[in-house]
Amino acid sequence: MKIEIFDSTLRDGAQSEGISFSVSDKINIVNTLDKFGVAYIEAGNPGSNPKDIEFFEKAAKLNLKNAKLCAFGSTHRKNTAVEDDPNIQSLLKAGTDSVAIFGKAWDLHAREILKVTTEENLALVRNTVAFFKQHGKEVIFDAEHYFDGRKDNADYAMAVLKAAADAGADVLCLCDTNGGAAPEEVLQGTKEAVEAFPGVRVGIHCHNDIGCAVASSMLAVQAGATHVQGTFTGIGERCGNADLSILIPNLQLKQGYECIENDLSSLTKTVKKITEISNMSLPNNKPYTGYSAFAHKGGIHVSAIMKDSKTYEHIDPELVGNQRRVLISELSGISNLLYKYKEMNLDIDRQNPESKRILEEIKQLENQGYQFEGADGTIELLLHKAHNSFEEPFSLEALRLLVEMKPNSPAYSEAVIKIRVGDQVVHTAAEGNGPVNALDNALRKSLKSFYPNLESMQLSDYKVRVLDEKDGTGASVRVHIETATAQDSWGTVGVSTNIIEASWQALADSIAYGLMNVSGTGKDEGTEPEIK
């Protein structure tokens, strides 16, 4: 069965706290969603603000391959003829083939919010839907507060649907606007609507205020809904909307519905791009697309997936464009190491005594405060060194840091560093907006003549964690550094009672790992270093 996916990221998602899309952001999201293959993109209210007016002007020029743009607005105002309502006219001028119209399905809202009688509210619905049908539009009627209205006055909620259907609505979308309906209520309410209007497509629009938006939407589909609304990363007002990045694979991979004509191998890439445009961080534990969605830590688990991945994975990660990850920690067994070695194309077997020694070393380091789960760069360097397959690209000869603070003046930081590369020593200095930044700048400055493409690697995150709070300022700290190129990213870690030493460990590993793995950052043997 085909399920229509209606994305509301640009409208519902934009109502999420902390989200503000520019016009270019919206165009970028539209192109991303269209490429992925959703059926509808709700683009907002074309008359609500100058930004949306500009967006609709630019969106009209887009050549979309899969999605229909859909303008969004309400039923016409009371005491105003539908054709004279400015908001209705702005929807018409938007030029989209489809319009989404919301109307009150809860008699409480009709009386107390719109200040109309229940019969007047039905007329608002009928008039608005009929107007757009007369102008050749596909009309998606959003029955706002349908499930709350059904609780208070089921006959009236159904009468609102009938008014829209009689006026020609193509879709009757049942909205759990407050997000508080239990999944079984959504199931039953959707079933009733499907049975009452056999010739009209029924849709579902769930908010996530009790954490059930995805589950409720799935049950609505089981009850016969063929039109599903949500936002692509679950963002939205209050607790958000049904997360399409979870709902789509649930329906398509688990239950056999056709939501997207293409396969879902671009799902992870699409989610990451929309998350980045939204200026948000993708949770590591996000189902299907999170960094940890297919990560394995326990030794027993890793041993099992090496024999058959189905033992601890509900799908093949590649189906959604993600990948399997094996973590190294104090919980690791030999299988974790063997899996890592296989990833690194290093030959070592289970019986090799070196494997047990490395595993014991890792556990000792974790006992000292190291954490390797997010530090694949450090763990791979450790394994390469143990396998004698790694040549240090540089070594530290000496380091001196100067931090000068004066009243009413910004703090000054300078790092003086002496680095050995092969048989050459580089002695240089650099400033920074803090001691770690100065250290980073000095290290890169000393290495740039040897590794001219080092600039492709940029420090993207820096975190410090105090390990022994009771020791106060003398406590051990763990420094985690994330480094990235345009194509890849990796984490490294350092631990010490001295924050500079811990930072150096993580920073040096991040550069060494990048020089070992990232294309185009290898040593330039023909370039003499700059000596200062």
- How many C-beta atoms surround the C-beta of residue 368 within 10 A? 11
Q: Please check whether residues 242 and 323 belong to one and the same domain.
A: no
> How does pLDDT run along the chain (532 residues), one tens digit per residue?
999 999 999 999 999 999 999 999 999 999 999 999 999 999 988 876 788 889 999 999 999 999 999 999 999 999 999 999 999 999 999 999 999 999 999 999 999 999 999 999 999 999 999 999 999 999 999 999 999 999 999 999 999 999 999 999 999 999 999 999 999 999 999 999 999 999 999 999 999 999 999 999 999 999 999 999 999 999 999 999 999 999 999 999 999 999 999 899 999 999 999 998 998 888 989 999 998 899 887 777 878 887 888 999 999 999 999 988 877 665 556 666 667 667 666 666 556 666 667 777 777 776 777 766 667 888 788 878 777 667 889 999 999 999 999 898 888 999 999 999 999 999 999 999 899 999 999 999 999 999 988 888 988 889 898 887 677 777 889 999 999 888 788 889 999 999 999 999 999 999 999 988 764 444 444 343 333 3
Domain count for the chain, please give it: 3
CATH number, domain at 114?
3.20.20.70
Q: Please check whether residues 193 and 303 belong to one and the same domain.
A: no
342 within domain boundaries: yes
What angle, rounded to 10 degrees, do the helices at 334-343 and 376-386 form? 90
pLDDT digits (tens, 9 = 90+) for 322-331: 988 877 665 5
Q: Please check whether residues 78 and 138 belong to one and the same domain.
A: yes
Q: Against a cut of 0.85, is the pTM above it?
A: no
283 within domain boundaries: no
284 within domain boundaries: no
Q: Please check whether residues 8 and 109 belong to one and the same domain.
A: yes
Q: Please check whether residues 359 and 497 belong to one and the same domain.
A: no
From residue 277, alpha-carbon distances to 29, 38, 268, 273, 281 in Å are 8, 18, 14, 6, 10
25 within domain boundaries: yes
Domain span holding position 425? 395-517
106 within domain boundaries: yes
Q: Please check whether residues 440 and 332 belong to one and the same domain.
A: no
Longest Cα–Cα distance in the chain: 90
Q: Please check whether residues 360 and 401 belong to one and the same domain.
A: no
pLDDT at res. 357: 73
Burial class (CB in 10 A: 0-12, 13-18, 19+), 35: middle
Q: Please check whether residues 315 and 437 belong to one and the same domain.
A: no
58 within domain boundaries: yes
pLDDT at res. 485: 87
As a whole number of angstroms, the distance between CA 187 and CA 176 comes to 12
Q: Please check whether residues 431 and 503 belong to one and the same domain.
A: yes
CATH number, domain at 460?
3.30.160.270
pLDDT at res. 529: 36
524 within domain boundaries: no
pLDDT at res. 528: 36
Query: DSSP secondary-structure letter at 60?
Result: T
Q: Please check whether residues 249 and 305 belong to one and the same domain.
A: no
pLDDT at res. 527: 40
Encoded amino acid at 41, one letter: I
pLDDT digits (tens, 9 = 90+) for 330-387: 555 666 666 766 766 666 655 666 666 777 777 777 677 776 666 788 878 887 877 7
Q: Please check whether residues 207 and 85 belong to one and the same domain.
A: yes
489 within domain boundaries: yes
Encoded amino acid at 380, one letter: E
Query: DSSP secondary-structure letter at 423?
Result: T
Last residue of one domain, picked from the residues 262, 284, 305 = 262
pLDDT at res. 224: 98
Q: Which helix (H) or strand (E) holds 462?
A: strand 458-466
Q: Please check whether residues 138 and 250 belong to one and the same domain.
A: yes
